[in-house]
Amino acid sequence: MDIPRNELKRALREGRPQIGLWSSLSSHITVEVIAGSGFDWLLLDTEHSPNELTMVHSQLQAMTGGSASAVVRPAWNDPVLFKRLLDVGVQTLLVPFVQTADEARRAVAATRYPPAGIRGVATTTRANRYGRVKDYLKRVHDEICVVVQLETRTALRSLEEIAAVEGIDGLFIGPSDLAADMGHLGDNANPEVRSAIDEAIRRIRAAGKAAGILAPVEADARRWLDLGCLLVAVGSDVGILARHSEALAAKFKQQPVEKR
């Protein structure tokens, strides 16, 4: 048996924009539904949602046969968390709150076996099809994709150094945390924040790496795609459920149903 191909990593290397959806509902049923909706990737979040390892495992299984690649955000830049996620078959990690090149190097090292890194070795896991991929240990690095999140002014100042770290495939802007760090908590649309994002995307592209961002407002998503962002999440399962359910309820609450 062979290692599953990381189609998302290949698309980023080839410069093909990849449209994604954030998944925070922590449900394998939800993931199964949206995995077949036509998105290129789904973000399975464990940082800001009540998602645990066994739940992520089920969500990865639920994505089988869908159009989307799985991207998982660990709760932190922690090699123990990475090891467990990699062993259940995660191939692309979105690492939160990376501010320096050293932190980026530590993230990459946690995804590589010795001597290139520090990932612990297990020989029968879902990642190697329970021991059926005989050359997994030698070839897996080719299919691992590491994307780091830049969420502070410190991270933006270190952008080129982070991008230069071997093994970093992409740099992903975190608009909400960046806005907060810039003194504009809850105001992602602030002109100063938007200008910083625009400039960061240009710098990421100039460094030869894939740029990414979460952009649930359509005009923002299209703007940043036009600037060359390749990894763009255009909404979330929570947002879709909340806003669409509110809109449906409002239609009927505003127009009382006639009694018969």
| Positions marked active-site | 48
Containing H/E element for 232? strand 231-236
Given a contact cutoff of 8 angstroms between Cβ atoms, the answer to whether 94 and 169 are in contact is no
Q: Which has the closest alpha carbon to 83: 107, 67, 55? A: 107
Look up residue 142 and give its DSSP letter: G
User: Closest Cα partner for 199 from 185, 186, 213?
Assistant: 213
At what angle are helices 28-35 and 53-62 packed, to 10 degrees? 30
| Encoded tokens for 175 | 């608009």
Q: Whose structure tokens read 């982070």?
A: 162
Structural contact between residues 148 and 93, judged by C-beta atoms closer than 8 angstroms: no
Nearest to 72 by CA among 38, 26, 115, 104: 26
Cis-peptide into 115, omega within 30 deg? yes
CB 152 within 8 A of CB 177: yes
Query: Residue 218 is encoded by which pair of tokens?
Result: 């359509």
Q: Which two tokens stand for residue 16?
A: 């093909």
